[in-house]
Structure 1
Amino acid sequence: MADSEDDITKVWELVDKIGFCMLTTQSGDDLRARPMSAYAERIENAVYFLTDVASHKDEEIARRPEVCLAFADSRGQKYVSLSGTAEILNDREKIKELWATPAKAWWDSADDPSIRVLKITPSFAEYWDSPGTVISYIKMAAAAVSSSRPDMGDSAKVQM
């Protein structure tokens, strides 16, 4: 298992570049995923989201705070899976700091009292950084003909 500074840096770079993810929470025995706009803060070892106090995910996180974030840039063949612990915060300063255009689709202003901060503290990550779709297909085809395994780019399991 890799846990080098380079791998940790790679995780944060991919998370920041991709920006959107599927947040998976636990609802009873089921898993639920929904798209979210992420704000990565490597220095704080945290990924932040704006959320609404009335959402079901907040209740799910209160019961079971272990979550997974799945980031995917399918066009560029770059993927990150982050596992960590979530918490809901009513941090009005952080809300103002994170306020951006995507939030305006859900709330009129950063002062809306129903906005909360969802903070994820990652404990583990895995990333896959492939050279791209066309090159990947060529490598897979060449490997199939030669009975070898294709080099599909960089990947690592990382303790955060």
Structure 2
Amino acid sequence: MTEYDDAARIWDIIDKIGFCMLTTQSGRDLRARPMAAYAERVENAIYFLTDAASHKDEEIARWPNVCLTFADTKGQKYVSVSGMAEMMIDRERVEELWGTPAKAWWESPEDPSIRVLKVTPSFAEYWDSPGTVMSYIKMAAAALSSSKPNMGDNAKVEL
């Protein structure tokens, strides 16, 4: 598979899963929280809506390197994205991203506390297995034959 195909596969998995764990640095500690992700592959960006009162603003201002992890455990598809984050006040983007996940946190897209978090990926890695049942079968067969199982595709890609 080419790097272009691998990059397309990463964006496809991100689009399909839609939610991720956003990991930021908080001093010497790392902190992860679930976020609704809006991928814009043409822009090479992943956007999030967040609140001005959250600690993410301060953490990202000091340590803008973040990691996003997407997991589809039933389909055995995973993506880890490393990149640079920036907080923005962008009312047009808020309107574009407004949807059901946002309605759980804010009454309307006009809420002045809504911020846009933009992550520009630098690289990503994906794992794409044939599914849970097939993975268990391959692991069992490998254990019986003392070989290593082929658990699907894996690639690291610069984005």
TM-score tier, shorter chain, comes to over 0.9
Mapped to 2, the partners of 1:104 and 1:4 lie a distance apart of 37
Contact 1:3-1:157 at 8 Å conserved across structures:
no
Distance 1:76 1:84, change over 3 A: same
Unpaired stretches in structure 2, ≥5 consecutive residues: none
Q: Secondary structure at the match of 2:149?
A: coil
Partner of 1:52: 51
Report the equivalent of 2:80.
81
Is it true that 1:95 corresponds to 2:94 in the alignment? Answer: yes
RMSD (Å) for aligned C-alpha atoms? 0.9
Structure 1: which amino acid aligns with 2:63? R
Q: Which residue of structure 2 aligns with residue 7 of structure 1? A: 6
TM-fit CA distance, 1:58: 1.1
Superposed structure 1 runs of 4+ greater than 4 Å apart: none
Give TM-score scaled by structure 2 length.
0.98
What residue is the counterpart of 1:125 in the other structure?
A: 124
Q: Distance in 2 between matches of 1:130 and 1:106?
A: 34
* Counterpart residue identity of residue 131, structure 1: P
Q: CA distance change for structure 1 residues 3 and 159 in 2, over 3 Å: closer, same or farther?
A: farther
Q: Provide the residue aligned with 2:107 in structure 1.
A: 108
State the aligned residue count.
159
Q: Secondary structure at the match of 1:54?
A: coil
CA offsets per residue over residues 63-117 of structure 1, 9 Å max, x none? 1000000000001110000000000000110010000111011001000000000
1:20 aligned onto 2:31: no
Q: Is the 8 A contact 1:85 1:120 kept in 2?
A: yes
User: Secondary structure of the equivalent of 2:92?
Assistant: helix
Task: Give the structure 1 partner of residue 143 of structure 2.
Answer: 144
Partners in 2 of 1:37 and 1:58 — Cα distance?
A: 17
Structure 2 residue matching 1:61: 3-state secondary structure: helix
- Structure 1 gaps, min length 5: none
d(CA) in 1 for partners of 2:57, 2:25:
11
The whole-number CA distance in structure 2 between the counterparts of 1:58 and 1:47 is: 16
Give the percent of matched residue pairs that are identical in Structure 1 and Structure 2. Answer: 74
| Structure 2 letter corresponding to 1:51 | T
Secondary structure of the structure 2 residue equivalent to 1:149:
coil
